[in-house]
Structure 1
């Protein structure tokens, strides 16, 4: 296994193809290989996602007079003028954020490849027949990195809050997507301590204290650490999630830089809590009975079986 920790090891990356180019997020996702440091003859498949960081607001007063290194005139029309520009290199304000997955599996390659979405309806029966077996087939190694965070083996210094209960506890820490600088793109994640809670489908009324705790602690943390007040956060849960260990996304309410916060994948934590509060205590929980509609990419492992299953769903007659 390789560990890429400096510019020299990063430059050993051998490009194969572009998996995704996202002009909205100003990012490129690249597929290639990196030599294994223990056996340089072995080439490990690697995914590298490179995105431009946001311009820090604190640069505003001196952005043009100090940080701007050079410009190239493009065009002007009446009162409007266009330039291309280059900024001075800065240790405090990096230009790029680089995320690496190595060794990357074919599942990772499909996940990060640009995809066409189709909307599907997942009934409780389809969940039991198709989705649950798909989730159960994943080996524990796929979420070992999550277990390392929960146990404190990895990223312990980044944890902002830890609730230690093994069944209903959680940790809150910055998400890898955040550059830790730009407040408007603030992105934290709360991860359940229990590996038995794989997705939203496993959430029941007994989990209400955990969900409320995540909400209150996230609010407290961003108020104390970054001065963000009430209503400054959007907390949501993905379904389908990117990995099957229950977690809650915590972002600045003004951050719109991710498709994952749109309808068809994101479920607001406040709405989840409210639905659980209104549902009876006995019998199957609401998320075990609900039909969930979501967008599924054509590279997802569930795409073909779920798309085929849509034809068997009973159509609702028009009123």
Structure 2
């Protein structure tokens, strides 16, 4: 290995501060921002496939919204050796080891751990919409729709192009330019895209920005632009090969429609890199564009072009108003959740809710059958709550100061969802109602308590939060026409706590659609209030939800042999923590971890169940790194 490579690996960054500049009158930056001054407000998009996250916030003592995009870097082949990832400085933390299989977390030297960071400051509403996760739609744009709807929108609301002009005029990013053809008519500037670190060949991504102004997009290309397009294709490929040694046959060269900014630019990416926007509904190969224009000079003025729009985009509202696209509306009336791929659920394939809108019922204590609600309660809306990992302030179905025609809505406080007086809001393990639905006697008994008790047997039913009460599904029953039932239909009513515990883990695992064998699948935190001042936490790590094992059939044991049957089990690691310590805090703050609250009964019975199942694991493999190995059920 060369000395220069050794020097690169051994040297650490002189500063770990991520800085950007602040624009002056020319749009060129001269101030610096530091991440230590960034105050997070919300997560706009967390893409676990691309390993990117976009967050919104602000910088201390500065006005305006800031967006920060963090992206894990791809591996480079040059550092996959004994002086890179496999050097003496690399540390391994063991998650578990079983026979020939082992899972670890690797901590290489800091110089290999950089996170590519992009900062947009000050960010506009259009930037926020662009980076937010939302529903997308395909529009088939005819030339008539372009002239009538798209073009007026582009003219009125496109992004400011000053940063583009700064590059073309030599005012900024000159040290990043790979090639510069200064011909004002057919010239262009070639430089790394902001999504590329400029070094890693495996994620190579460059932009060719044309010098000629006034060409907004694919729609403006015709015979007069052919020399420009061919020059970009030929000279761009040549310069990329000279600098990065990537041959033309391994380059993906294309245009976007609609583009992210309306000054003509062409994308160059490495064929092995699945860059954003390379799919059919967005990308148009430059060679195909040139060929189309050579056949029909005004092809792109006559063609119908598809493009995608998202529901937060202003252009979506324009096309929706004119009847060309329709917003996706959540189906809040269908309260059955069906999963045909998971036959192993303890409640079958259907999560059936035993509450219907407009139906009279009573809420009773599951322990002593004491009626804790008013004499006859009716709920106008039965709605499922989002996961605890979502930003509640963005979940606008409840509250926000308007009544939806169902009584007075309670305004949200600190991002907590507040139901209307006649709302029944539910999740897997609890439901939330306004305390006006509960009896005066029960409310008076709990007026000074944070934990909501049954006023007869003192059973813990849930938690109180001002005007709302969170009641646990396993601790409260429904009474309808003299018949009691659980909130959800269950197969094993005799052991509701364990049944709900198993189903909760199964449902939360598949809710996040994580299912790779021999990898960490899903991390879950079950939180339980054990007193007015203390909580305990059950940390669950789903390692393999379809582990194939052989088990004996006790009904077919013969005198000289044992019959084994193949079955699949869910393998997990678990640990109990009795306070919010550093480990629990790191789990809870991780956006990839699923968190929910459960009752004391479910916590106690569920923990006992895991400890019982753990006895089926060979003793030698039963504990690893402070976690206990178990099966969810056998």
- Shorter-chain TM-score tier: 0.7 to 0.9
Mark the CA change 1:30 to 1:86 in structure 2 (over 3 Å): closer, same or farther: same
Taking structure 1 as reference, are residues 151 and 137 closer, same or farther at Cα in structure 2, changes over 3 Å only? same
Match of 1:132 in 2: 151
RMSD: 2.1
1:69 is displaced (CA, Å) by: 2.8
Whichever of the two has the greater Rg, that structure is 2
Q: Partners of 1:15 and 1:293 in 2: how far apart?
A: 36
Counterpart residue number, 1:260 = 277
Distance 1:83 1:68, change over 3 A: farther
Which structure shows the higher helix fraction? 1
Q: How many angstroms does 1:11 deviate by?
A: 0.8
What's the counterpart of residue 286 of structure 1? 299
**Structure 1 residue aligned with 2:202, among 179, 184, 188?**
184
Rounded Cα–Cα distance in structure 1 between residues aligned with 2:137 and 2:88: 44
Do the aligned partners of 1:56 and 1:181 also contact (CA within 8 Å) in 2?
Answer: no
Q: Secondary structure at the match of 1:137?
A: helix
Aligned 1:214-253 pairs, distance under 5 A:
214-253=232-271
1:81-160 superposed matches below 5 A? 81-90=102-111, 93-138=112-157, 142-160=160-178
Q: Give a deviation string over 1:31-56, Cα, whole Å, max 9, x none.
A: 00014xxxx3x422100011111122
Task: Verify the 8 A CA contact 1:121 1:310 in the aligned structure 2.
Answer: no
Tell me if the contact between 1:68 and 1:85 (Cα under 8 Å) persists in the aligned partners: no
Gaps spanning 5+ residues in structure 2: where?
A: 1-21, 24-28, 326-634
Contact 1:235-1:268 at 8 Å conserved across structures? yes
* Alpha-carbon shift at residue 310 of structure 1 (Å): 5.2
**Does the Cα contact within 8 Å between 1:168 and 1:192 map onto a contact in 2?**
yes
| Shift of residue 67, structure 1, vs aligned partner | 6.4
Alpha-carbon contact 2:292-2:299 (below 8 Å) kept:
yes
1:49, 1:100 within 8 Å by CA — same for their partners in 2? Answer: yes
Check conservation: 1:124, 1:289, Cα contact below 8 A.
yes
- CA-to-aligned-CA distance 1:275-306 (integer Å, 9 cap, x gap): 011114xxxx1111110112211122211222
Q: Any conservation in 1 of the 2:139–2:324 contact (CA below 8 Å)?
A: no
CA pair 230-43 structure 1, distance change in 2 beyond 3 A: closer
Q: Structure 1 pair 98/79, CA: closer, same or farther in 2 (3 Å)?
A: same
SS of the aligned residue for 2:314 comes to: coil
Cα separation, 1, equivalents of 2:91 and 2:193: 34
Instruction: Kindly state the Cα deviation for residue 217 of structure 1 after the two structures are TM-superposed.
Output: 1.2
TM-score w.r.t. length of structure 1: 0.87
The aligned runs of 1:28-39 (5 Å cut-off) are 28-35=53-60
Q: Give how far 1:226 is off.
A: 1.6
Q: 2:226 aligns with which of 203, 208, 223?
A: 208
Change in CA separation of 1:265 and 1:98 when aligned onto 2, cut-off 3 Å: same
Moved over 6 A (4+): 2-6
Structure 1 stretches of 5 or more lacking a match? 313-319
In the alignment, structure 1 residue 295 sits paired with structure 2 residue 329: no
Residues in 2 aligned to 1:272 and 1:50: alpha-carbon distance in whole angstroms: 33
Secondary structure (helix, strand or coil) at the match of 2:272 reads coil
For the 8 Å contact 2:140–2:306, the answer to whether it is kept is yes
Deviations 1:125-179 (A, max 9, x none): 000001000111147x701000111111111222222222323321111111111
Task: Measure, in 2, the Cα distance between the counterparts of 1:306 and 1:34.
Answer: 36
Please give the secondary structure, in 1, of the residue aligned with 2:118.
strand
CA contact (8 A) 1:120 1:310 kept: no
Q: Which residue in the other structure is 1:315 paired with?
A: none
- Structure with the larger RCO, 1 or 2 (CA within 8 Å, 6+ apart): 1
Alpha-carbon deviation of 1:65? 3.1
Query: In structure 2, what is the Cα distance between the partners aligned to 1:276 and 1:78?
Result: 62
SS of the residue 1:270 aligns to: helix
Most deviating of 118-127 and 295-304: 295-304
* Aligned: 1:66 with 2:84: no
For 1:15 and 1:265, the matched residues in 2 are separated by 31
Distance in structure 2 (CA, Å) of the matches to 1:294 and 1:64: 42
- Alpha-carbon distance, 1:75 to partner: 2.9
> TM-score, normalising length from structure 2?
0.45
